[in-house]
Amino acid sequence: MDFKNLKDETKEMIKALAISGSLIVLFYVLINNLKPIASVLMSSLSAMAPFLIGLIFVFLLEPVRRMAEEKWLVNLKAEPRAKRKLAVTIAMVVCLLCLFAFFMILIPQLMSSLRIFIGSFDSYVATLRNMIDSLDGIDQNVEAALIEALNTTGSKLLEWLTGAEGGLVQILSYSVSVLKGVMNFFIGLIIALYILLDEERFKLQIKKLIYGLMDRKRADSTMHLLRLTMRTFNSFIFGKAIDSLLIGFICWICCMVMRMPYGPLISVVVGVTNMIPVFGPFIGAVPCILILLIINPIKALEFSVFILILQQIDGNIIGPRILGDAVGLPTLWVMFAIIVGGAMLGIVGMFVGVPIFSVVYALVRDYCYGQLKEKDVSFLNL
């Protein structure tokens, strides 16, 4: 069969079938090889950890640097280079003050809550065991299995918590992994400092490299992809960090007002898990509710109502005002990105999967709109 002699409609149909078949095969291979792919990705991420941490700092500090340079220092009579250095210094000071406040104010209370929780852990396990024993009509085999699972899980959790708390000084002093993490943190901060100071030069170097290696059309497409990626990640990471910090702070204040047990611990869990869209609030709320249910069922009910109200306020008022349309994804595709990202990279994948898929979604959408415009297809006629 001569492909050139076929009708245009037939050619387009064959191309569409070939592309669809290739995508289906690629998706099938991806799903069936998630673990090897995830292993390779995690190894790559571990090797690039300082640079990734530096990029995260850039995303967090760039809005502060821009605000300082364009608003706070706009009337300062100084050379642009000096003004840039001062703006970066202000951004770094703000970052370090936030970290200092976190470690000096929240960490001691968090450790106190953790210490109390560990001391009362045996009584919580006993309470759960009594609740299982008091259930009427439950099969004895099921009851025995539940109690065995509870004892096993409880002992492992207590061992992990006790080791984490009791060996904290030794870990901070001698653990290679902690030292490596601290080194990566400071190296990332230094990388972010250099990028922020010479942002325009780095952008120009990347632009020269792309246009030097590619033809004009491909280079333009690549630059568009880079701008879209940077804009999406910048808006998402900075906005989500501010949103989660605010939610964690509100939760902390309200927990103190309601005299909630383990308020600092609960607030940290709620704030950190809030970084994950859609599923984050539920991931953080469930263990907190279970802990409170063992201690005081009334407090668990109060917290459930409070967290539901807080998440509604966040989803409808706080989040939209801070994030706006940072990702531009419908809820269905946000859930898809979280599920696939979580399957591949765990918690990290649940977080970065959303902005990555947002970039892919925007590119596919723009391509489809361009094709529809070329074919003069109106949505009103579909």
pLDDT tens for 88-111 read 888 888 888 877 777 776 667 667
In whole angstroms, what separates CA 338 from the centre of its chain?
10
* pLDDT computed for residue 206 by the predictor: 87
**φ, ψ at 235 (rounded to 5°):** -65, -40
Q: Is residue 290 part of a domain?
A: yes
* pLDDT computed for residue 215 by the predictor: 86
Task: Tell me how far apart the alpha carbons of residues 10 and 107 are, in angstroms, rounded to a whole number.
Answer: 66
Q: Indicate the pLDDT class of residue 67, thresholds 50, 70 and 90.
A: confident
Q: Is residue 39 part of a domain?
A: no
Mean predicted confidence (pLDDT) in 38-63: 77
Q: Is residue 351 part of a domain?
A: yes
Q: Indicate the pLDDT class of residue 227, thresholds 50, 70 and 90.
A: confident
Q: Give alpha helix (H) positions in the chain.
A: 8-32, 34-47, 49-67, 80-101, 107-119, 121-133, 140-166, 168-174, 176-197, 199-213, 216-257, 263-273, 280-295, 297-313, 319-323, 331-374
Q: Is the pLDDT of residue 175 over 60?
A: no
Task: Give the total number of structural domains in the chain.
Answer: 1
Q: Is residue 78 part of a domain?
A: no
CA-nearest of 291, 294, 266 to 281 is 266
Q: What is the pTM of this model?
A: 0.65
Q: Is the pLDDT of residue 346 over 60?
A: yes
Task: Tell me how far apart the alpha carbons of residues 50 and 181 are, in angstroms, rounded to a whole number.
Answer: 9
pLDDT tens, position by position, 283-338:
888 888 887 877 788 888 889 899 889 888 887 788 777 766 666 677 777 788 87
The range of the structural domain enclosing residue 284 comes to 212-369
Mean predicted confidence (pLDDT) in 242-266: 86
Q: Is residue 325 part of a domain?
A: yes
Q: Is the pLDDT of residue 165 over 60?
A: no
- Does residue 353 contact residue 338 with C-beta atoms inside 8 Å? yes
Q: Is residue 376 part of a domain?
A: no
* pLDDT computed for residue 170 by the predictor: 47
| Per-chain mean pLDDT for the chain | 76
Mean predicted confidence (pLDDT) in 56-68: 83
Mean predicted confidence (pLDDT) in 152-156: 61
Cβ density class 275-289: b for 16+ within 10 Å, e for less: bbbbebbebbbeebb
Lowest mean pLDDT among 179-188, 287-296, 339-348: 339-348
* pLDDT computed for residue 372 by the predictor: 77
Q: Indicate the pLDDT class of residue 172, thresholds 50, 70 and 90.
A: very low
Q: Percentage of the chain surpassing pLDDT 90?
A: 1
* pLDDT computed for residue 171 by the predictor: 46
Q: Is the pLDDT of residue 194 over 50?
A: yes
* pLDDT computed for residue 235 by the predictor: 82
Question: Counting beta carbons within 10 angstroms of the beta carbon of residue 266, is it exposed (0 to 12), middle (13 to 18) or buried (19 or more)?
Answer: buried
Q: Is residue 12 part of a domain?
A: no
- Does residue 126 contact residue 151 with C-beta atoms inside 8 Å? no
* pLDDT computed for residue 158 by the predictor: 56
Mean predicted confidence (pLDDT) in 55-72: 83
* pLDDT computed for residue 325 by the predictor: 61
Q: Is residue 111 part of a domain?
A: no
